[in-house]
A and B are shown apart, each in its own frame.
Chain A
Amino acid sequence: MKKLFVMLIVVLLVVSTVYSNGVEEKTAENKPVEILFWHTFSEGKEIETFTQIKKDFEKENPEIKVNSVRMPFDGLQQQVITAVAGDAAPDVMRMDPTWIGKMASMGALVELDRMEGFDDYKKNAVPGPLSSASLEGHYYGLPLGTNTTVAIWNMDLLKAAGITEVPSTIDKLEEMAKKYSNPAEEKYFFTIAGTYTWAMLPWFWSLGGNLTNPEFTQATGYLDSPESIKALSRIASWYKEGLISPAIIGEQPDAWSASTGGKLPLIVDGPWFFSSVTTDFEKKVTMIPSGDGGSVSIVGGEDVVMLEGSKHPEESWKFIQYLLSDNVQLKMANAGFIPTTETALSKLDTSSSPFLGAFVKQLGSTKVRIPSKNYTEIDNLLAMIFEKVIRGKTTADVALKDAAAQVDALLK
């Protein structure tokens, strides 16, 4: 018995010292309603801008307090699912648009079109990004900040190669690449960052390829159309003929380091490129070279969503509306988030940055990734067939026909 007693004391002692650091404070009912907001803003300008916005909101709405928690980007989706399953989810969060389909179909998100005043926001939202938040006729989010990818040229390299004018069409680009690229010297005119959809689709679309019909309900007839087959085959030939670097199949140097290192005349990338360049070279930003499909890029960004199970939907909606107001959108633009409302966009002063104008222009010619509850499976499928065709393991017509049937099944 004595030993048990001693054991008990020791354990209690250690436990209480640890416990005392983790006790939840059960305070009395506080006046302001607290809403939990998850975000992924990074330290520095982004968090500073946001903190100010949050404070302004709380000043204007003293009965609401916003508890904002910064989450690591890696594994965030897992965190959200776990939190929702455990009834410990945030009220509002900025979410990757490609997750919305699945989460909405599982009942995790609130249908925002039920909220009062939603229609005004719907009308004011930039149409491209807006479609990413829809599923089966309802809207589960509103685009909060958007971005896209554009063509970024290294003018120093181009001039050294005797090129004075940036090619505006893919045909011209291919011609230049044939003269410039030399695999033996590991010299390439441009590349595609990988076989994943984010990197492939701008080229695929610009070359005339298509994924589905405009309603996103069918892939057969679109994904396997002659135009799509032609587009994909052309990209595969670029790799086969050594016009683009092996970065596309994941080899080093990847597109990013080759470009920021000043070795790649053209890279297609987003606004974050400019905060990370380590070499100084003259940059020019234009829309993606156009092909049979025009100059089409891909929409990224984030949508703001409200999670089902939120105990304060009214207050959450107020916060969401605040985030979408013009002056907040313009403040966020300073931190690098391109506005997603027409009114804010029209007020945006693009002269403040050397590249913002090109991005805004490209935004007018973009396509979204398929809003579907099975988005991730579709995405993985597309990436897989792109990889197979690029590596030469199969031909575009066979692969795309097969894929179209599978995508159709996933779109049901």
Chain B
Amino acid sequence: MRQKSINNSFLYFGLVLFAIVAIIPFLYMFSTSMLESSYSIPFPPKLFPSRINFSNYFTAWKSNNFGQYFANSLLVATSSTLIIMFVSCLSAFGFSRIKFPGREFLFSIFLFSMMVPSITNITPIFTIMKSLDLIDSYFGLTLLYSGISIASNTYFLRNFFLIFPHELEEAMTIDGGTRWTCFLHLLLPLSKPAIATFGILTFAGNWDEFLYALIFIKTESKRTLPIAIKLFEGQHLNNWSLIFAASLIAIVPILIIYILFQKYLIKGGSLDGTLKE
């Protein structure tokens, strides 16, 4: 028993160390956001606020259409995450559980396409978006987000889907199921941790996407949150306490989703039990 509690405290000690290192810049950010209108980041660094003052948070919410852009982001991030999850699961399933000629070759092309930096792709992408009349529409933005992340998502999910032995599908087919039912009722539920993780990461990525959101959404009222935060920056001056407050507000939805989906990230029991001996 003693050994266990010593081990345990050892574990917690390590975790607390990690936590401290992770959180220091945030303490800095948080205490700066408590200052009244600070145009410079406090130096020497201030980790603990001298006064608790949330006025910047209220100001941030009311300025630069923050509230509206926040709502827009919720809509875009949620719907695009759902669509991306759907398409990616299908794709990963196809690449991992179904044999077809040229599978590895096609997959390597997906992989290679992830490796060339996409920063110079802006113009060709613009051309495509324009010719498909996808400019200034959330649908277009969603398609774009799907397109640029799908190779990576397929790779990620495929890894998890490959783990399952073939006996899994055989067992299902024997029971009278098809490929599709196997996918829906067997593979997906068993991959909950992977899919939940992937969902969180996709949401987080779409939530703070700035560049394409700015280029392709032309109507001001439809803009998303990262743009609102950028608008707090002035040409010559930056009101850091305000910007930090705004940035911290922006993190909240991601954290909420992260916390809510925690239970899916952990798998109870083991894989072995699903197969009948």
Q: B41: which A residues are within 8 A, CB to CB?
A: 257
Minimal Cβ-Cβ distance residue in A for B138: A22
Is B8 in the interface zone, CB < 8 Å from A?
no
Is the CB–CB distance between B222 and A256 below 8 Å?
no
Complex CA gap A114/B79 in Å reads 49
A43 contacts B79, CB within 8 Å?
Answer: no
Whole-angstrom CA separation of A390 from B211 in the bound complex: 36
What is the CA–CA distance of A353 and B80 in the complex, to the nearest angstrom? 51
* B37–A23 CB distance below 8 A: no
For the complex formed, measure the closest distance between the CB of A41 and the CB atoms of chain B, giving whole angstroms. Answer: 10
| A10 lies within 8 A of B86 (CB) | yes
A14/B236 contact (C-beta < 8 A), A82-B126, A261-B40 known: no
Give the interface centre of B43, B63, B227 by most chain A CB atoms within 10 Å: B43
A276 at interface, CB cutoff 8 A: yes
Residues of B within 8 A of A282 (CB): none
Q: Compute how far the CA of A83 lies from the CA of B135 in the bound complex, rounded to whole angstroms.
A: 12
Chain A residues bordering chain B, tally (CB within 8 A): 41
Q: With a CB–CB cut-off of 8 A, which chain A residues contact B36?
A: 278
A22 touches B137 (CB 8 A): yes
Min distance, Cβ B172 to any Cβ of chain A, angstroms: 14
**How many of chain B's residues have a CB under 8 angstroms from any CB in A?**
49
Q: Are A24 and B137 also in contact (CB < 8 A) when A17-B79, A74-B233 are?
A: yes
Q: Does A21 contact B (CB under 8 A)?
A: yes
8 Å CB contact of B40 from A15, A74, A87, A254: A254
Surface stretch bound by A, among B107-115, B212-220, B268-276: B212-220
Query: What is the CB-to-nearest-CB distance from A105 to chain B, in angstroms, rounded to a whole number?
Result: 19
Q: Please indicate the chain B residues that have their CB under 8 angstroms from the CB of A18 in the complex.
A: 75, 79-80, 83, 138-139, 142
B236 touches A253 (CB 8 A): no
Residues of A within 8 A of B218 (CB): 69, 88
Contacts of A275 in B (CB 8 A): 237
Beyond A18-B83, A18-B142, is A72–B214 a contact (Cβ under 8 Å)? yes
| Residues of chain A contacted by B201 (CB below 8 angstroms) | none
Determine the distance from Cα of A160 to Cα of B236 in the docked complex, in whole angstroms.
30
Closest to A252 in B: B43
Question: Is there an interface contact between B234 and A73, defined as CB atoms closer than 8 Å?
Answer: yes
Tell me the nearest residue of chain B to A73, going by C-beta: B235
Contacts of B79 in A (CB 8 A): 14, 17-18
Residues of A in contact with B (beta carbons under 8 Å apart): 3, 7, 10-11, 14-15, 17-19, 21-24, 40, 42-43, 69-70, 72-75, 79, 82-83, 85-88, 252-254, 256-257, 260-261, 270, 272, 275-276, 278
Starting from the known contacts A18-B79, A22-B140, 12 additional A-B residue pairs (CB-CB under 8 Å) come to: A14-B82, A18-B75, A18-B80, A18-B138, A19-B137, A19-B138, A22-B222, A42-B231, A82-B126, A257-B42, A260-B40, A278-B38
B-side residues, CB < 8 A to A, are 36-43, 63-64, 75, 79-80, 82-83, 86, 90, 122-123, 126-127, 130, 133, 135-142, 178-180, 211, 214-215, 218, 220, 222, 227, 230-231, 233-237, 239
The 15 sampled A-B contact pairs (Cβ below 8 Å) are A14-B86, A15-B83, A18-B80, A18-B139, A21-B138, A82-B122, A83-B215, A86-B130, A88-B135, A88-B218, A256-B40, A276-B37, A276-B39, A278-B37, A278-B40
